[in-house]
Amino acid sequence: MRLVEQAHWCVAGPERRMLEDFGYWYKPDGRTNDEQALFEQVEVVPQAFEWILSVAAGFLFRISADNLSGEARDNTEFKTKVYEEVQRRLFGGLPERLGTFVAALQDYYQQEDMLCSSHFLLENL
């Protein structure tokens, strides 16, 4: 399973974890700008969690618009929101499941014990 699915699992509550795709709205590649805006709205937190998991494992993170054949769209605002969500989670504390998974990844991949905001730079997205 890829980290994106693990991030969705970390976001989903007990009921949603029982649903296919954890109950997330999804429209396949080829979305209009309006559809892409909806996609980005629901993807801020999962992509922030995926970025946190990626850093915990020592992997490169690339934000995903997941809309290769859709209408062209500037994703600067989406990147900024994902970055801000990461910073909010780092300063406010990680949810329990995400924190547990982060610790396991750091241990397995022998990464630093402490995540800090300097590990996450907006210009790297």
pLDDT in tens, 16-25: 788 777 777 6
pLDDT at 1 over 70: no
Contacts of residue 55, defined as CB under 8 A and 6 or more positions apart, other chains included, come to 61, 111, 115, 119, 120
Residue 45: pLDDT over 80 = yes
pLDDT at 2 over 70: yes
Domain ranges of the chain: 3-124
Q: What is the pTM of this model?
A: 0.90
Q: Confidence band (pLDDT; 50, 70, 90) for 58?
A: very high
Question: How far is 109 from 1, CA to CA, in rounded Å?
Answer: 17
Residues 6+ apart with CB under 8 A from 82: 44, 47, 48, 51, 63, 125
Taking the CA atoms of the chain, what radius of gyration do you get in angstroms? 15
pLDDT value of residue 54 = 96
- Residue 61, classed as helix, strand or coil, is coil
Asked whether the predicted pLDDT for residue 65 surpasses 90, the reply is: no
Model pLDDT, residue 70:
64
For the ranges 4-13, 45-54, 62-71, 114-123, the maximum mean pLDDT occurs at 45-54
How far apart are the two ends of the chain, measured CA to CA in Å?
22
Average pLDDT over residues 64-83: 84
Which of these ranges, 27-31, 43-47, 94-98, 103-107, has the smallest mean pLDDT?
27-31
Q: What would the mean pLDDT of 117-125 be, rounded to a whole number?
A: 91
